[in-house]
Amino acid sequence: MADAAPTAGGVARPTMAAAGANTSPAGQSAPAGRAADVERTIVVLLGPPGAGKGTQGEQLAAALGIPKVATGDVLRAAVRDGTSLGQEAQAFMERGDLVPDPVILGIMKEALSQPATVRGAILDGVIRTVPQAEGLQAVLEQLGRVTTVVLVFAIDDDVLVRRISERTVCEACQTPYTGHHTGTACPKCGGRLVRRSDDEPTAVRQRLAVYHAQTAPVITWYKTHGVRVVSIDAVGTRAEVQARVLRAFSR
């Protein structure tokens, strides 16, 4: 797991020393100037709950030296802090439903206007409906940018349910863990590990249903709009999945 510190704007800045901003997608040391290759890269991570978007997104952000933006993390922080955004989003999230598109578009615009994302960004779970994909395209057009690649994490529902049932997350930095008990300290930041309220079985079933009904059509939308879509087999060790993700950048 790479180090990444969330900021108020919802942008996680990769710690360059963790994996190296100057590390090539193949995981090898890269020559000076390599950073220019990933300049303005916009990566959209799509996949069902528990597929590993957050886990792989952090590693990819560190490998490419660009920040990760995760709407789920932004919303959970807002709920925790009791902001008006959090109050608006909380009930949707606890049921396992999607937060309304205008709310997400606002977060997306704010994140992409931050200096930290000028060089590029990994968008983890930011796009879950066709109107959100259209909204991102409009924002990127205004900025003179395009979506570089969409990575779709492919995995069966029964594996996801098992992963989520074993997950704890850090209340502070939101890093997910398997095999760490609630109430213990986060190995990364010392925060308290908790269960997410939307990781209970009823909400998980709803999140899966929402994914298949509302997010899966986004894959077709990207394919028909000329954006490169790469399916990633998300079953295997974290390292195996990471290697598949990095291969998507090697051609």
Residues binding ligand AP5 (CB under 6 A): 47, 49-55, 70-72, 75, 92-93, 96-99, 104, 125-126, 128, 132, 163, 167, 176-178, 198, 207, 236-238, 241
The residue (of 9 and 96) whose beta carbon lies closer to ligand AP5 is 96
| AA letter at 32 | A
The residue (of 15 and 214) whose beta carbon lies closer to ligand AP5 is 214
Give the strand order in the sheet containing 193-194.
176-178, 167-170, 193-194
Name the residue with tokens 């800045």. 13
The residue (of 237 and 250) whose beta carbon lies closer to ligand AP5 is 237
The residue (of 30 and 52) whose beta carbon lies closer to ligand AP5 is 52
Q: Are strands 176-178 and 167-170 parallel, antiparallel or unpaired?
A: antiparallel
Beta bridge partners of 43: 122, 149
Buried b (16+ CB within 10 A) or exposed e, 118-148: ebbbbbbbbbbbbbbbbbbbebbeeeebebe
Q: Which residue is nearest to ligand AP5 (CB)?
A: 72
| AA letter at 17 | A
Name the residue with tokens 């937060």. 99
Question: Annotated catalytic, 53?
Answer: yes
Minimum distance from residue 60 beta carbon to ligand AP5 (Å): 12
Question: Annotated catalytic, 80?
Answer: no
The residue (of 86 and 118) whose beta carbon lies closer to ligand AP5 is 86
Given 53, 68, 76, 145, the catalytic residue: 53
Question: Annotated catalytic, 196?
Answer: yes
Given 68, 128, 145, 163, the catalytic residue: 128
Distance, CA of 52 to CA of 85 (rounded, Å): 25
Question: Annotated catalytic, 207?
Answer: yes
Two tokens, residue 151: 């990575």
Given 13, 68, 76, 196, the catalytic residue: 196
Query: In the structure, how many helices (H) and strands (E) does the chain have?
Result: 11, 10
Question: Annotated catalytic, 238?
Answer: no
- Write out the catalytic residue numbers: 53, 128, 167, 196, 207
